A and B are shown apart, each in its own frame.
Chain A
């Protein structure tokens, strides 16, 4: 009896992510959702610019590599041309919440029938650890060497809360993957975000609080704890919008 196997929607390519990075877990959850809904053959994923830039090597489905921040616009084009296909984007916080803020807001307000996986690890990973729009107040990064100064750099953006103020979106939730329990919740949320698209319900975004041990300068274990002690207090977990249950905002 097989008790554990690789999801069919992942390729055999070895992931290039750093030890302790949670991208691998999230990739797996996305692939599991594709498997569960049996949509691998009609899914087209959109990879971002950032650490997940080569996600097209990992998801075993048609893929498009987008310019930095533009994945929701690219996904809009894909979905409008192929309304019966399943379209998802996989974007980091610099990609989605900084350079691509306009694209995500407008895709949300149009209620594009697409699925967005938003990785929030409070830092720019690929370029070596610069301040992100989600970097916490006081957090030290390469470009906030004395800690994020809210007077100079402003406050981190709570994307899920902000997008939930829009009429458009169907489903917005924030999850994390720093424990088995949290991974189970994340898995359900990601699956629902794909299911919503299959059912034609519209825009679903799952924000996943993730770790970046390398650029946070922590051990993987410490990084998982930091999600609990530093990130969740600023970025509370939960469902922020779910039209199917009538839940709006907050």
Chain B
């Protein structure tokens, strides 16, 4: 019988990672994600794992690179400015086709920004982030339960596709407490014949590398990686559809913004406005198909975001300009209210937008 516990989102991520067989954590203190490091510092020594507070975010992600090369499950976590620092290492991890989990509990930016919640790292997370041709598989939980569940799933996906997976949440999600159930996890064992473990004088050396001086070879590697990405788009796109059956207006929102939007949708329904929501759970791959299908039925889309409007570009691409897409947002650590979202819908319905 799985027990229900009350936990902060950050702690739920850490506990779920341990249950998923992650025994290596490297991080550097930054608000608002430090509870993950604190939890790992406490728990890792008790389960025979490694917690190491690195000298920098850069060192932390390179330690992750080292462990990932050995085939062990490994993760790091940070918040926006720290994740910017990790980008070099993430690009190398991608280039060497290694699996790992990177958690970004976002705060407002740019620069040092603030410590209040934001979703303004959407571009960085979903469009690559570091240098080179690549994507991360980006998971966007909207509850503490989902933070736990998607963390477990992240390790499986990373192993399956040999890619880094990013869990993208925000300061609110990281800090808020909710009941969470930790289901029995069967750690999926993936064969990793590419791992560096020492040859044991039984096989040719394995080399973990992202350097290809021959451009034809590098192109081939990139094309091969994008074939895996096509597979991921086909098989791993996740979203929640909320009251879309009869919807005339479709809200698109993820994470904390989706929870705000749900309140607004319920209020709108009470006023007789038929509003629904498509909530991307994977930000990359983006749920293009359901949005395109919705574009055949709804009058307009509203992208609700804690940023100056980043995901809205993907919504527009998905609906191919068949319907208007408007933005309802706050930035810099501010959160849109249900009233603000409702007002946007009412304006749309009244023809004012």
**A40 CB within 8 Å of chain B:** yes
In contact, B209 and A80 (Cβ under 8 angstroms) = no
Closest B residue, CB atoms, query A42: B198
Taking CB atoms and an 8 Å cut-off, the chain A residues in 88-136 that contact chain B are 102-103, 105-106
Q: A56's contact among B50, B70, B207, by CB below 8 Å, is which? A: B207
> What 1/0 mask marks residues of chain B from 58 to 98 whose CB sits below 8 Å from any chain A CB?
11101111111110101000000000000011001000100
**A206 CB within 8 Å of chain B:** no
In contact, A63 and B208 (Cβ under 8 angstroms) = yes
Q: How far is the CB of A133 from chain B (nearest CB, A)?
A: 18
Closest A residue, CB atoms, query B70: A81
Q: B211's contact among A65, A73, A80, by CB below 8 Å, is which? A: A65
In contact, B74 and A77 (Cβ under 8 angstroms) = yes
In contact, A70 and B59 (Cβ under 8 angstroms) = yes
A10 to B54 Cα, complex, angstroms:
33
In contact, A65 and B209 (Cβ under 8 angstroms) = yes
A74 to B52 Cα, complex, angstroms:
13
**A29 CB within 8 Å of chain B:** no
Residues of A with C-beta under 8 A to B112: none
A54 to B209 Cα, complex, angstroms:
10
Residues of B with C-beta under 8 A to A105: 55
The count of residues in chain A whose C-beta lies closer than 8 Å to any C-beta of chain B is: 35
Known: A66-B62, A67-B88, A103-B59. A80 touches B199 (CB 8 A): no
In contact, A70 and B205 (Cβ under 8 angstroms) = no
**B231 CB within 8 Å of chain A:** no
In contact, A74 and B199 (Cβ under 8 angstroms) = no
User: Which secondary structure dominates where chain B touches chain A?
Assistant: mixed
> What 1/0 mask marks residues of chain B from 15 to 28 whose CB sits below 8 Å from any chain A CB?
00000000010100
Interface residues on B, range: 35 or more
In contact, B64 and A77 (Cβ under 8 angstroms) = yes
In contact, B88 and A63 (Cβ under 8 angstroms) = no
Known: A77-B26, A81-B70. A64 touches B209 (CB 8 A): yes
Residues of A with C-beta under 8 A to B208: 63-65
Tell which of A40, A65, A102 has the most Cβ of chain B within 10 Å: A65
Residues of A with C-beta under 8 A to B321: none
Taking CB atoms and an 8 Å cut-off, the chain B residues in 267-284 that contact chain A are none
Known: A66-B65, A70-B62, A77-B26. A82 touches B198 (CB 8 A): yes
**A85 CB within 8 Å of chain B:** yes
Q: B199's contact among A40, A54, A102, by CB below 8 Å, is which? A: A40
Taking CB atoms and an 8 Å cut-off, the chain B residues in 126-143 that contact chain A are none
In contact, A73 and B54 (Cβ under 8 angstroms) = yes
Residues of B with C-beta under 8 A to A77: 24, 26, 62-70, 74
Residues of B with C-beta under 8 A to A205: none
In contact, A103 and B62 (Cβ under 8 angstroms) = yes
**B200 CB within 8 Å of chain A:** yes
Residues of A with C-beta under 8 A to B69: 64, 74, 77-78
A82 to B24 Cα, complex, angstroms:
11
In contact, B63 and A102 (Cβ under 8 angstroms) = no
**A196 CB within 8 Å of chain B:** no
In contact, A76 and B63 (Cβ under 8 angstroms) = yes
A60 to B204 Cα, complex, angstroms:
8
Residues of A with C-beta under 8 A to B56: 102
In contact, B62 and A53 (Cβ under 8 angstroms) = no
In contact, B197 and A73 (Cβ under 8 angstroms) = no
Residues of A with C-beta under 8 A to B88: 67
Residues of B with C-beta under 8 A to A85: 197-198
In contact, B59 and A62 (Cβ under 8 angstroms) = no
A15 to B223 Cα, complex, angstroms:
30
Residues of B with C-beta under 8 A to A73: 54, 58-60, 62-63, 65-66
A59 to B196 Cα, complex, angstroms:
14
Residues of B with C-beta under 8 A to A79: 66
**B241 CB within 8 Å of chain A:** no
> What 1/0 mask marks residues of chain B from 182 to 204 whose CB sits below 8 Å from any chain A CB?
00000000000000111111100
In contact, A81 and B50 (Cβ under 8 angstroms) = yes
In contact, A62 and B206 (Cβ under 8 angstroms) = yes
Q: How far is the CB of B208 from chain A (nearest CB, A)?
A: 4
A52 to B153 Cα, complex, angstroms:
39
> What 1/0 mask marks residues of chain B from 290 to 333 whose CB sits below 8 Å from any chain A CB?
00000000000000000000000000000000000000000000
**B160 CB within 8 Å of chain A:** no
A59 to B202 Cα, complex, angstroms:
16
> What 1/0 mask marks residues of chain B from 208 to 238 whose CB sits below 8 Å from any chain A CB?
1111000000000000000000000000000
Sample (18) of A-B pairs whose CB atoms are under 8 Å apart: A41-B201, A62-B197, A62-B206, A64-B65, A64-B207, A64-B209, A65-B208, A66-B65, A67-B65, A67-B88, A73-B60, A76-B59, A77-B63, A81-B74, A102-B59, A103-B55, A106-B55, A106-B59
Q: Which residues of A contact B (CB under 8 A)?
A: 40-44, 46, 53-54, 56, 59-67, 70, 73-82, 85-86, 102-103, 105-106
- A-B complex: 10 closest residue pairs judged by Cβ atoms: A77-B66, A73-B62, A42-B198, A77-B63, A62-B196, A106-B55, A41-B201, A70-B62, A74-B66, A73-B59
11 further interface pairs, Cβ-Cβ under 8 Å (given A65-B96, A73-B65, A79-B66): A40-B201, A44-B196, A64-B66, A76-B59, A77-B62, A80-B67, A81-B70, A85-B198, A86-B198, A102-B55, A102-B56
